[in-house]
Structure 1
Amino acid sequence: MSGLRQAGLLLLVIAVVVAAGCHSGTGHDSQEAAAAAPAAVGTAQEPVQSLGDMNEDGVASVTDAIAILRIVVGFDPYTPRADADNSGAAGVADAILVLRAVVGLGAWPIAPPDIFDNQIASTAPDAEVGEVDLPDGSQVNAALTHVILNISGNATSLDGWDLQQYLAQTGSTIAAWEPGLRQIVVETPDVQTTEDYLEDLPTLAAVDLAMPNIDARPTQASVFDPDPATFAGDYWMDQIRAREAWKVAVDTRGEVNSDVILGVVDTGIDVTNHFSVDQVETVGAALLGDGTDEVGHGTNVAGLMVAPGNDTIGACGIAWGNRIKVVDWWEQTAGAQFSFDIAQGIRVAIDAGAAVVNVSAGANTYSYDGAGNVTGILPHDACIILQQRFRMNMTPAVRYAMDQGALVVFAAGNDGEVVKDDDVLLPAGAPAGWADVWASNAMIVAATTSVGIEANYSREGAVVDIAAPGTLVGTAGAGVQGGGVYQATGTSFAAPIVAGIAGLVWSFDPSLTPQGVKDLIVASGGQSRTDIGGGIANALRALPAGGGTIIISWLPRSMTGAAAG
């Protein structure tokens, strides 16, 4: 059948439906007259966004139906406005829906779906990392061909179509979707770098904010196998009064009775030598890493959070009665690792049930030689800008934590030799309200030494909420490290102690809010110390008055020798 004959038959469909509308006593003329009526004083007349509204005038009309049918028979190119029934294609049924609205038998407007409908989360591909000049004049280490777009909360499929048309025009593609955080990663064309793309990006209805994908690293200074004869890595338990807190929180033996699940976004976990079988679950393997800890960092971090204390090895986590969800964001590959992966990991851990999520990672503030070897720390201003931009990349994940009632704990960073004035959380121009979600649902943790003073490697400043031991702390070792108890140094290992305290506190009083848990931990440190930015966490003081009892089946060996008071 020729295109003209198809068009004739389809136009006959229009005539029949319109005639049916006329017999029903409702006509297009009356609708157009109503639409033409003047707006009330003080209100603006703006066309409503609707599927089927081909001429974008805000009114259902025969003209719109004809435009849809022209697409059906191949006279005009497809546009998602023609897909009135949201089936994924233009058809006669779409024209009929519009005509029913014309004659008053159907709804109008026909609301387009959200831009993320029918999209699933995907991971961003590898990218080369390098120096990126931002439109505000600052410079960061980031993916050279990635841009993160934060999508408006009310962006529809039509806005998404406009965005994809722009991407097609510039030779760009959507490399990754993250519906939970309302973000996409755009891969820029080879001829255009991230800095050019950010500079040239026009105002688009779908996009709230565009950001570089910051190069990220675990915040570890060193890890080594200690001499058992001189091992003193459990000092941290006394510095935060863990043993005394355990005696208050745990006074009855029985089955585990804590529904508070912790989460860790790190390099994976090795459960071979530590942890109970039913305590640990790796999640997000289909999206990120498979959970194999190739470097040991994730095992070290998780050990300080939840390692059981009743084994023969000796490691013990502060919240050793809690379960943990592990997300592996770090893969030992030739490609760089980026902040988008961490943000996705936070969302995955929360979706798996984690109420407290630890992130012992931050912007990569190290300098390198031509062979890729670390040569030192970048200059002060570069470190400040990089970490602010890293926190910008984390904010959608922290906002997700706020929406889900979770708390995210971050390591402050190990460039403290050059940064002792980390006083501004986010860079200038950050969207309104972004700092507020950090105030209620995130904590930044600095590190102290075995004698309770600030560690020289730890960042300090007003953004720090609390400090905890992070120097030569004893923790669970991974198989690649020998599997025993290791001593680790870095803000990477101060943060999980605080995350573990949060788990202990929340288990003690499950009625607390994330803000309530944070406030108790911050208050436990006493008056803020000007040399750190916050006090030193105290697990005993953090336990809320009038809390309950955490019922567990055994006590950790480390409880022996606790002081009274």
Structure 2
Amino acid sequence: MKRIGPRDDDESGIACDRRTFLVGGGALALGGLLGSSGLGAPSDRGPWPETEEFVVGFSPTVSDVAAAAHAAVPDAVDVRHSNEMIGYATVSLPSVSERVRDGALEAIAATDVVEYVEPNASLHASVVPNDSEYGRQSAPQQVGCETAWETTVGSEDVSVAVVDQGVQSDHPDLEGATGEAGANFVGSGDDSSPAAADERHGTHVAGIAAGATDNGVGTAGISDCSLLTARALEGNGQGSLSNIVDGIQWAADAGADVINVSFGAPQHYETLSSACEYALEQGALLVGAAGNEESETVDFPAAYEDVVAVAALDGDGIASYSNVGQAIDVVAPGTDLLSTVPWDDYARISGTSMAAPVVAGVAGLALSAHPDLSPLELREHLLATATDLGLDETRQGAGRVDAAAAVETAPSPDGANGDATGG
């Protein structure tokens, strides 16, 4: 398995070599889940942000990360949480001078079994069926869903996971899609629902990717695939590196075939890369939002090589807010998309966060039609069947994702378009 990392032509990554560390950035204190998930920690996740929390990555040879973390840190440093599957622990430093802090981090990084130390940084959110509001939608039509739906509306055997804010799983357009209970990685308790009505991002993203289609209610999602939800972002749209990593791991372990990550940061983190690699090894394709900073570089994790990086369209052009760059794989509608929000409501939101679940939903449709595709084969199939909009490759990647072509075109081993299978 090739290591997932910053793309060769993307200069926004910051290398984290063995025995190195980065300092800075705020962080959430992380509790965790106990049991077979490999997550272990105190019972509650602390308040956000906790500015002196760091992530320590350990060698794959370490069999007990929690024990190794306690052995590697000075007595004054608190081990807050460990993840045995991804191979990291979060540690909290007391309020000390920068010199003392850096000395402690250098000592931890110099330990033989430690591969890196980095901040537990904050990542942020990037935003003809009979459904009653379908006439007010445009994204499904733009990406060819109506033709694709003649073949499949999505299989319940294909799972699309949304790692985001809380999702209102009993929303009329989502209650049929959510089977397994969601997981909560923010604060205490198991409830993965939004904390308030203005925590809309996760429910909106979920409705785009997997809202019910042809149920006579509200909007139509891109696919009718099964939905998994992990609450890893706060109501303010931010979440700590460790919470997000644990959410990705949970989704992969829960059997997700596609994982949507509509959040990002301009900087590469080893722990985030490891989580993406883990999900890929478990059989999940990650789809990420490019970011909304009008930048010429793509946010992470979308910028990682084997994550599908999605820029947003406004009509047939790149949206003014969307990040672009060499890492872009495909584009999708992202402006004024109508979708589900708490409580039992609908709203229009714009952002690459909205474009990414369009692609995640199309990936679900394609995998429903071609269930033998591996994650990387699915990725190449999406790119091979995308519609060229005539834009520069650094802006559109392979082009606008095309649900009809992705469903009806037989996948080719070399990634080129095959023959149509229906339609």
TM-score (norm 2): 0.76
Answering whether residue 332 of structure 2 is matched by residue 468 of structure 1, we say yes
Report 1:95-244 matches (<5 A). 120-122=39-41, 125-126=45-46, 129=49, 144-156=51-63, 163-169=69-75, 171-191=76-96, 197-199=104-106, 201-220=108-127, 233-244=136-147
Give yes or no for the alignment of 1:456 onto 2:320: yes
Letter in 1 for 2:171: T
Deviations 1:17-50 (A, max 9, x none): xxxxxxxxxxxxxxxxxxxxxxxxxxxxxxxxxx
In 2, Cα distance between equivalents of 1:164 and 1:356: 35
Q: Distance in 2 between matches of 1:455 and 1:120?
A: 39
Equivalent AA in structure 2 for residue 174 of structure 1: V
Q: CA RMSD in A?
A: 3.3
Contact 1:313-1:485 at 8 Å conserved across structures: no
Superposed, 1:381-396 pairs within 5 Å as 387-389=266-268, 392-396=270-274
1:175-203 CA distance string (max 9 Å, x none): 01111211110111221566665455442
- From 263, 267, 270, the equivalent of 2:165 is 267
The 8 Å contact of residues 318 and 497 in structure 1, kept in 2 or not, is answered as: yes
Matched residues in 1 for 2:347 and 2:92: separation?
41
Preserved contact between residue 313 and residue 484 of structure 1 (Cα < 8 Å): no
Query: Is the 2:158–2:364 contact (alpha carbons within 8 Å) kept by the matching residues of 1?
Result: yes
Contact 2:263 2:289 (C-alpha < 8 Å) held by counterparts: yes
Contact between 1:127 and 1:145, CA under 8 Å: does it hold in 2? no
- Matched with 1:446 is 311
Alignment of 1:334-413 (within 5 A): 337-363=239-265, 387-389=266-268, 392-413=270-291
Q: How far apart, in 1, do the equivalents of 2:350 and 2:111 lie?
A: 45
For structure 1, the residue ranges without an aligned partner over 5 or more in a row are 1-115, 130-142, 221-227, 251-255, 364-386, 427-434, 548-563
Partner amino acid for 2:305? Answer: A
Alignment partner for residue 291 of structure 1, among 189, 192, 203?
A: 192
Cα distance in structure 2, aligned partners of 1:162 and 1:260: 38
Q: What does 1:245-264 align with in structure 2 at a 5 Å threshold? A: 245-249=148-152, 258-264=156-162
Hey, what's the Cα distance between the residues in 1 that align with 2:183 and 2:244? 12
Letter paired with 1:443:
V
SS of 2:358's partner is: helix
Q: What is residue 508 of structure 1 aligned with on the other side? A: 369
Distance 2:36 2:212 in 1: 42
- Which residue matches 1:33? none
2:239 aligned counterpart, secondary structure: coil
Structure 1 letter corresponding to 2:84: P
| 1:424 shift after superposition | 9.2
The whole-number CA distance in structure 1 between the counterparts of 2:201 and 2:321 is: 18
The AA in structure 2 aligned to 1:237 is P
Structure-2 change in CA distance of 1:490 and 1:196 (3 Å): farther
Rounded to whole Å, the distance in 1 between the matches of 2:300 and 2:185 is 33
Structure richer in helix, relative to its length: 1
Provide the C-alpha distance between the structure 2 equivalents of 1:461 and 1:537, rounded to a whole number of angstroms. Answer: 17
The aligned residue for residue 422 of structure 1 is 297
Write the distance in 2 (CA, Å) between the matches of 1:118 and 1:458: 35
Give 1:527-546 correspondences, 5 Å limit: 527=388, 529-530=391-392, 532-534=395-397, 535-543=399-407, 545-546=409-410
| Partner-residue secondary structure (3-state), 1:276 | coil
- AA aligned to 1:537 is V
What is the DSSP-based 3-state SS (H/G/I as helix, E as strand, rest coil) of the residue aligned with 1:281? coil
State the Cα distance separating 1:359 from its structure 2 match: 1.1
Hey, what's the Cα distance between the residues in 2 that align with 1:151 and 1:455? 40
Using the alignment, how far apart are the partners of 1:476 and 1:161 within structure 2?
Answer: 44
Choose between structure 1 and 2 for higher RCO, CA contacts under 8 A separated by at least 6 residues. Answer: 2
Aligned equivalent of 2:212, options 304, 308, 315: 308
Alpha-carbon distance in 2 for matches of 1:473, 1:149: 39
Write the letter of the residue equivalent to 1:508: A
Q: Is the 8 A contact 1:233 1:487 kept in 2?
A: no
Amino acid at match of 2:360: A
Q: Bigger radius of gyration, 1 or 2? A: 1
- Among 347, 357, 361, the alignment partner of 1:496 is 357
Measure, in 2, the Cα distance between the counterparts of 1:543 and 1:475: 23
Give 2:348's aligned residue.
487
8 Å Cα contact 2:108/2:114 also seen in 1: no
Per-residue CA shift, 1:308-337, capped at 9, x if unaligned?
1233333111112x111111113448x973
Distance change >3 Å, CA 273–CA 340, structure 1 → 2: same
Hey, what does 2:13 align to over in structure 1? Answer: none
CA drift at 1:486? 1.7
- Where do 4+ consecutive residues of structure 1 move more than 6 Å? 116-119, 423-426
**TM-score where L is the length of structure 1:** 0.58
Aligned residues: 363
The amino acid across from 1:167 in the alignment is: V
Give, in angstroms, the shift of residue 533 of structure 1: 4.3
| Mapped partners of 2:253, 2:36: distance in 1 | 18
Contact 2:185 2:231 in 1 (8 A): no
Provide the C-alpha distance between the structure 2 equivalents of 1:305 and 1:472, rounded to a whole number of angstroms: 15
**Structure 2, unpaired ranges of 5+:** 1-34, 412-421
Once the two structures are superposed, what CA deviation does each residue of 1:442-499 show, in whole Å capped at 9, x if it has no partner?
Answer: 21111001x21000111110111111100011212321xxx33321111111000100
Task: Give the conservation status (yes or no) of the 8 Å contact 1:462–1:533.
Answer: no
**Whole-Å Cα distance in 2 between the matches of residues 478 and 128 of structure 1?**
23
Aligned counterpart, 1:330:
233
Whole-Å separation in 2 of the counterparts to 1:489 and 1:259:
30
1:149–1:185 contact (8 Å) kept in structure 2: yes
Question: Following the alignment from structure 1 to structure 2, what is the Cα–Cα distance between the partners of residues 184 and 126?
Answer: 15
Residues 1:282 and 1:192: Cα distance change in structure 2 (over 3 Å): farther
From the superposition, tell whether residues 276 and 414 of structure 1 become closer, same or farther in structure 2 (CA, over 3 Å): same
SS at match of 1:186: strand
CA contact (8 A) 2:366 2:406 kept: yes
The answer on 1:522 being equivalent to 2:420 is no
Identity within the alignment, %: 26
Separation in 2, partners of 1:286, 1:262: 18
SS at match of 1:516: helix
Note closer, same or farther for the CA distance 1:199–1:206 as it changes in structure 2 (3 Å cut): closer
What is the alpha-carbon distance in structure 2 between the residues aligned to residue 493 and residue 161 of structure 1? 41
